[in-house]
A and B are shown apart, each in its own frame.
Chain A
Amino acid sequence: DIQLTQSPSFLSASVGDRVTITCRASQGISSYLAWYQQKPGKAPKLLIYAASTLQSGVPSRFSGSGSGTEFTLTISSLQPEDFATYYCQQLNSYRTWTFGQGTKVEIK
Chain B
Amino acid sequence: QVQLVQSGSELKKPGASVKVSCKASGYTFTSYAMNWVRQAPGQGLEWMGWINTNTGNPTYAQGFTGRFVFSLDTSVSTAYLQISSLKAEDTAVYYCARGEDVLLWFSSLLWGQGTMVTVSS
Binding site for B on A (CB under 8 A): 1, 31-32, 34, 36, 38, 43-46, 49-50, 53, 55, 87, 89, 91-93, 95-102
User: Which residues on B sit within 8 Å (CB–CB) of A98?
Assistant: 47
For A38, give the chain B residue with the smallest CB separation: B45
- Contact count band on B: 20 to 34
Could you tell me the dominant secondary structure of chain A's interface residues?
loop
In the complex, are the beta carbons of A46 and B47 less than 8 A apart? Answer: no
Give which listed residue, A38, A43, A99, contacts B47 with CB less than 8 A.
Answer: A99
In the complex, are the beta carbons of B59 and A96 less than 8 A apart? Answer: yes
Q: Which 5 A-B pairs have the closest CB atoms?
A: A43-B111, A97-B47, A34-B107, A49-B107, A99-B45
Fill in one digit per residue for B101-121: 1 if any A CB lies within 8 Å of its CB, else 0. 010111111011110000000
User: Which residues on B sit within 8 Å (CB–CB) of A32?
Assistant: 105-106
In the complex, are the beta carbons of A44 and B105 less than 8 A apart? Answer: no
User: Which residues on B sit within 8 Å (CB–CB) of A1?
Assistant: 62
In the complex, are the beta carbons of A50 and B47 less than 8 A apart? Answer: no
Give which listed residue, B35, B61, B62, B112, contacts A43 with CB less than 8 A.
Answer: B112
